Structure 1
Amino acid sequence: MLWLLALNSRPLLGSGGVAREVWGLYRHWYGVLADGGFPVHDPLWQYPPGAGPVLLSPGLLPGLTYFRAFVVLALAADALITAALLRAGTAPARSLRGAAYWICGLPLLLHLPLARYDVQVTALAVLALLALTRSTRACGALAALGALVKVWPVLVLLGVPKGRAARSAWLWAAATGAAALTALSLGFTHPLDFLRNQGGRGVQIESLGGTLLSLASHAGWPGTVRYRYGAMEFTGPYVSLVADASLALTAAGLGLLLLWRARARHRTPATPYDAALSAVLLFTVTSRVISPQYLIWLLGLSAVCLTSRHTSQRPVAALVAAASALSSVIYPVCYDQVMAGTWPGTALLLLRNALLLTAAAVSYGRLWRATRPAPRLPAPQRPALTAAAS
């Protein structure tokens, strides 16, 4: 991955676009954050306030440029995840498949993970899940810190066992989140300005809705692709309708997850892990945006599932790995085809998103079946005594 990052300027590796996010955009935000404020009225800033300390952290490594320090910290987060998975895999009834999956799966995304801060966020979610068996307090606190950086880690709390464990995890998540948000509000101005930009987002070309619009363009739909809010988005008739439908599907996904939690009766040691993966998959496929770095989240959660021999998500992990490999073909290798909406670009999007949609459906179905009690078999009846025997 480091070698590919060194070759970042090659056309097949994005002509420098992958690394530009760090030394261009992140470095710019670093200067704004260092002055004590979040980027105000910047449509590209769409992240919760916890992202601020993450983007400032390369400044803790003196003697390195911002870009090199950022990559070092991304590698450190990668090593932390690997170490946590290895430790979890050596426990009784556990497996080292999770660590192997992460080590072999992350490079499927080429050098992208080293040029985004999603590995750091994934580390918080992975540690929160793996801490659950030892401390619900640590689980809740780590999930809250992750949510302050990129929202989705709060979903790892969905599978926490009901009762005292759930109350403890959610209480510590709320307390940690409130304390961290208060500290960020005291240290920086405009910590919640990102909410304004989130509301204006449209349909990114890589999302499921974007795939439908890309297909529609081949049937005569007159929409165009523009760079908006830090992503390539569709503009034109019915785009707002597709965006609203995506939000409705996200709400429906949340409803399905709450229904599962209310109906679940049987639990295994892997249930919290399986529920976290299923939840993030549902929210990913229904989102208006599916960026390639989202696959880092899914790879990390799949790896956690595979540390348990009781997981129901092995087929899902295989689908996520296949989707990750295909995502690298979409971006950066063939992204010009995707942006132009050519048939090859549309076909790549259709196949990748079909894999993710299948993974979400299989994940939820297997989670549902794994947590339903086994049907009771009728008790065997003794044969009736015959009159002669009596």
Structure 2
Amino acid sequence: MTSNTDFEIFLATLPGLEPVLWAEVKSKGFRRPKEVPGGVVITGGWPEVWRANLWVRGAGRVLARVDAFHVLHLAQLEGRARRVPWASVLRPDVPFRVEASCAKSRIYHSGAAAERIAAAIAETLGAPPAEGAAPGEAVTVRARIEHDLCTISVDTSGELLHKRGYKEAVNRAPMRETMASLFLRQCGYEGAEPVLDPMCGSGTFVIEAAEIAARLNPGRARSFAFEKLASFDAAAWQQMRAVKSQRVPAARFYGSDRDAGAVAMSRANAARAGVSDCTEFRQNTISDLLPPAGPPGLVIANPPYGARIGERKALAPLYRALGQVLMGRFGGWRVGIITSEPGLAAATGLPFLPATAPVPHGGLRVSLFRTAPLA
């Protein structure tokens, strides 16, 4: 694996959101994206790795696939791992850790597999193990052994990519930015219409929508693990990062919440993200909700779901009130509601299209319930 060699690059997402991520990756000009369980695979070199981390909103992490080989026992795994071209990827002065998973293979002990690969790296490259390294200092090597095929990858992202670098304040059970961006895409949002979140929490949907409209790269304000790899070219990366595609959004983006703390949190997060000029946040109850002046757009919300049956019953009036307000006042607007409970979605009385595939979120499985423009 040299700097001139193309290799597989895996962009991870939550199960159920692979087709949405594929559409985003394709729209951003990456070559031959292929939808696979858990994400999307593209082919390219290190510049494509950097670009995927910088540009793609819906991916949780980006893995560079370094090698793949069949193995039947641990000694064979260690011997084969010694032949991986580690020096073309890892630096001998950067700490590393190995994480392994095993499924349907003769090697079944993931901890032992990780130890053997770590020993091979330490002996062939001389890089120090991550024990004792400060947070964010180490690079992670991932090994997946499935049906006796070992795939070795390097995590090029580091911290998960929903950590955009601007959100210091979050509320309880926040929607991750990566997931929010894919739900916006599933609702047909492309950046040209207003978006309103009537239960905005820490402002995730509103800020993501504003960033998409402003063409701000999601990774613009953070660092990545690939900056610690042997393949990293600082000058080329700075040149890539310096390209500005920013524009002034044609629409505005609105958030409201009954909690004053959530509104203050959202405003602070929007300011750090650089989208204060096109976002508005106000304290509001659902019954006070009115459409902003101008053309219709998208209302999207992630209301509370309730973990227990009693809580779900108690939430039904909230969903009912939201549906009544939207049906009565938001003609021409589309609606997207994320919930784990089809019964709560039905309580809104909104004319939903078929629900999307459920995806894991906060220990539950949630679906997006969407409408066409309301009459």
- Normalized per residue, the structure richer in helix is 1
| TM score, norm. by length of structure 1 | 0.23
Instruction: Point out which structure has higher relative CO (alpha carbons under 8 A, 6+ apart).
Output: 1
| TM score, norm. by length of structure 2 | 0.23
- Normalized per residue, the structure richer in strand is 2
